[in-house]
Structure formats: structure tokens, C-alpha cells
Amino acid sequence: MSEKTEMRLHRTLVFAVIEALDAIFNQNEYADKVVQRTLKKDKRWGSRDRKFIAETIYEMVRWKRLYNEIAGTKEHYTKENLWKNFTVWAVLKGYKLPDWKQFTGTPARRIKGKFDELQKIRSFKESIPEWLDQLGEAELGEQWPEIMHALNQQAEVILRVNTLKTNTKALQQILEAEGIETSILKGFPDALLLNERQNIFLSKAFQDGLFEVQDASSQLVAPFLDLQPGQRVVDACAGAGGKTLHIASLMENKGQILALDLYGNKLKELKIRARRNSAHNIETRVIEGSKTIKKLHDSADRLLIDAPCSGLGVLRRNPDAKWKLQPEFLDKIRQTQTEILAEYSKIVKPGGKMVDATCSVLPSENEQQVAGFLHQHPNFILIKEKKILPNLSGFDGFYMALMERKD
């Protein structure tokens, strides 16, 4: 944890952080939504202030278990305890504590000593629930410590160039003219890395639909489908459509894309994004039970199943997920994945292909699911699979398997 002695703590910013943590820990709100709301509170905050607020909230959430143990606050998030946890963060970051009543009698030396002591216990060092640490070790063995460590790093912001409207080089120049510096990412033809975190959604380039924000690992899923312009493609768990839009750009607006989801509000968001992207070949449909799927049997050249999962591969950007996850939920989600694969795979026509993808690093949600499916469905064969581990790639953890229907 690096030292930041050049910055002083500013009362309004710290109070905004404490209020945000109250909403996350006590009202069980999602961290990303709370951060967005908090940043809108004061128009006078500059980019440095906003950076402090966003990064501090995420760090406090990410290291919650470690800070609880050091501060002795356990899971009781009274205002006083939130301040104790914040004090631990500030001391470990090397801030000079101002003369505020909340910092009176801060045991800085004890905090640092306790931090050093807890580095010997992995579940505290990596700030992760005990059950999840045990599960990770059981499923991933000696790879787990490095994977978990990588998942605690802050995620970089990656843009996906909308090739329906522009290309990587041109977008780089357009963004530079707006004062936004980016870098090319090797091995990711449509990706740009944002050199410095900022609110990219305010840029004219975004409003003109020239790019979307999408992690580099996630950008590998749509190309994995082996798409050809003119095909009929079904995105069966489309959500707000990040991968649907990527499919549309790879298909050059030719052919048909049907985006399905259980939630109509997500598909409404997809329609707005599709208009901004000038993606004209996307139809949306809410899944209203098994009849929606039955009507689509044997109809798709390509099918994407971006199945619901634990989300363990994206903890870098959603650190609160590790505190919301429960063992029972994982058991349930694995069962859901099995059912979705069995039911939705019938959408693929003979000779068609499908990709099963998750943003998890657990084999029980990934290759084991695919192996179970192939055992039960001998009319499908595995063409290839890809495992992306955050400790090796530097990006989100992902899994994808390409299968072909033979009959």
C-alpha cells in the first residue's frame, strides 16, 4: 500500500466517503451506484477530488475484512466504526492525520504492527471471506493465491472501439483532441487503454457512439463466436448488451441479432446504446418463460450464452461482490448454469455454433459445466476453450468455450 504524503485530508471529501460507506455496508447498496451518486454531490469537486472519493470508497470496500480486523470493528458499521476503519486506511496510506475529533488518540504504531502481523494470514492479507478462500484453494490449488492477489488490484479502464463508426487509430486522435490520452493494447485489435482515470462518459466521442467501456477479457468473447456477416445470432443473456454491441460491429450491421434477457429494463438500456452505436440489426425480446426459448429452437447460426455466474473474475471492478456472495448462492448459480446450457442450446441449428462464457475463475462454473453438458448432449462437440486468469493477463478473469452442434 503506497504512501501518499503530498495530499492532505479534506473534510468534505472524507465525510462524503464515510456517508458512501454507510450506504454500502449498512443499506447493502452496490458500490458502483453509490460512487456514481456521491460524485454528483458537489459540482465544485475537481478531477483530483473525484479520484480521491472514488478510489478511497473502492479501497475501503476491497480491504474491508483486513481493516475490520485491524480496527477491531468486526461487522458493526456504526458511524464511529466507519471512522475507525477510515483511520486505518489513512494511517496505512501515510496521510498526516488532521486535528479532528474523529482522529483523537489514533494508535498509528499499533495499526501498522497489526497490519504487518496479518500479512501472514492469507484470508486477511487478501481481505476475503474465509469460506471463499477455502473454495478458491480447493478449486484452483496453488494458482489461487496469485489469482486472488490479482483480483485485489484496481482495474484499468479499457475502451472498445465501435468499428461501425471509426477505427482504433482515428479514435485515438479524436480522444487526444479532447484531452484524453490512450494507449494501444497488443492482441486486442479494437481496444484502447485509458492512460488516466476520468469520467469518459462526458466526452463527445462517447456521446457520438465511437466507443464503449469494456474490459479487454470481455472483448475476446464476441470474436470467439466465429461470426460471419449475414448470420442469425442470438445473445441469450444479453443484459445491457456490451457483448451484443460488439457482435453487431463484428457483423458490420449485416444479418440479424436477437438479444434476450429476463429483465426488460436492461434491454431498454441496450436499445439506447444500440442507437448511439448505429447498430441497426439488433432486436430485443424479454424471456417470458420456456415458451420464448421454444419458439427459437433450431433457428440460430450462432448462440452466445453469457451465463449468470459468481462474478469472481471481475472482483477488481466490483470488490463488494466478495462480501455479497454466499455459498448457497454459488450452489444455486451452478444449477442455473446447467439448466440454461441444456435449455438454451436447443436454439442452435444443426451445424451452428455456440459459446458458453462466464466472468468467473472457478472450474466448477466453467470447464466442469461444459464437460457435464457435452456428456449429456453428444450432438455437441467442443471446438476450443479459453481460460483467462487475471494474474497472467492483467485483466478480468473469464472463461469461454466454443461448441458446435453436429446433428
Question: What grid cell was written down for 153?
Answer: 488490484
Residue 101: DSSP 8-state: G
In which residue ranges of the chain is pLDDT below 50? Answer: 1-5
pLDDT of residue 6: 54
Domains of the chain: 11-127 (1.10.940), 158-213 (3.30.70.1170), 218-405 (3.40.50.150)
DSSP 53-67: HHHHHHHHHHTHHHH
pLDDT, one tens digit per residue, over 130-160 is 999 999 999 999 999 999 999 999 999 999 9
Question: pTM of the entire structure?
Answer: 0.93
pLDDT, one tens digit per residue, over 9-64 is 999 999 999 999 999 999 999 999 999 999 999 999 998 999 999 999 999 999 99
As a whole number of Å, the end-to-end CA separation of the chain is 56
Query: Which residues are annotated as catalytic?
Result: 359
Question: What grid cell was written down for 265?
Answer: 429494463
CB neighbours (10 Å) of residue 335? 10
- For residue 260, what are the β-bridge partners? 285
What's the Cα-to-Cα distance from 95 to each of 4, 90, 117, rounded to whole Å?
A: 6, 5, 21
Phi and psi for 210 in degrees, rounded to 5? Answer: -85, -15
Of 13, 21, 6, the C-alpha closest to 63 is 21
What's the Cα-to-Cα distance from 28 to each of 21, 23, 81, 290, 364, rounded to whole Å?
A: 10, 7, 17, 32, 28
- For residue 182, what are the β-bridge partners? 194
pLDDT of residue 407: 87
Q: What is the CA radius of gyration of the chain?
A: 23
pLDDT of residue 5: 43
